[in-house]
A and B are shown apart, each in its own frame.
Chain A
Amino acid sequence: MTDIIFEAIRGPWPWYVAGPLVGLTVPLLLFFGNKRFGLSSNLRHMCAAVPAARRNAFFAYDWRRAGGWNLLLFLGIAIGGFIGGVLLANPAPLVVAEPTTAALATAGLSVDGALAPAALFSWSSLFTLRGFVVMVLGGFLIGFGARWAGGCTSGHAIMGLSELQWPSLLAVAGFFIGGLMATHLVLPLVLGL
Chain B
Amino acid sequence: MVTTTPDTTRTQSATTVGFVARYLAIGAYFGFVLVKAEVLSWYRIQEMFRFHSFHMYGVIGLAVVVGLVTVALVKRYQLRAADGSAITFTDKDRSWARYLLGGSLFGLGWALTGACPGPIAALIGAGLTGFTVVLVAAVLGTYTYGLLRHRLPH
Contacts and interface: CB of A to CB of B under 8 A. Distances in A.
A180 interface: yes
* Majority secondary structure, A binding face: helix
* Majority secondary structure, B binding face: helix
Contact of B99 (A79, A86, A158, A171): A171
Contacts of B82: 31-32
A170 interface: yes
Most B CB contacts (10 A, CB to CB) among A22, A116, A154, A176 go to: A116
Most B CB contacts (10 A, CB to CB) among A36, A44, A46, A77 go to: A77
B110 A142 contact: yes
A165 B140 CA distance: 28
Given A11-B36, A100-B50, A141-B141, A77 B130 contact: no
Interface string B29-62: 1111111111111110111111011111111111
A58 B139 contact: no
Contacts of B59: 15, 18-19, 22
B42 A121 contact: yes
B105 A148 contact: yes
Contact of B145 (A17, A20, A23, A144): A144
Most A CB contacts (10 A, CB to CB) among B38, B103, B113 go to: B103
Interface of B: 19-20, 22-43, 45-50, 52-68, 70-71, 74, 79, 81-83, 85, 87, 89, 91-96, 98-118, 120-131, 133-147, 149, 152, 154
B141 A140 contact: yes
6 contacts: A30-B87, A47-B142, A74-B118, A100-B47, A143-B140, A148-B145
B139 A43 contact: yes
Contacts of B126: 81-82, 84-86, 89, 115
B63 A77 contact: no
Interface in A1-52: 9-13, 15-34, 36-37, 39-40, 42-44, 46-47
A19 B34 contact: no
B66 A26 contact: yes
B79 to A, nearest CB: 8
B117 A23 contact: no
B49 A139 contact: no
A32 B12 CA distance: 18
Given A100-B43, A170-B100, A19 B63 contact: yes
Given A15-B59, A18-B37, 20 more contacts: A18-B36, A30-B70, A34-B85, A34-B87, A44-B146, A79-B28, A80-B122, A84-B35, A84-B36, A114-B128, A138-B112, A141-B112, A143-B137, A154-B118, A158-B64, A167-B95, A171-B100, A175-B106, A179-B49, A182-B108
A96 interface: yes
A108 interface: no
Interface string A104-147: 10000001001111001111011000000111111111111111
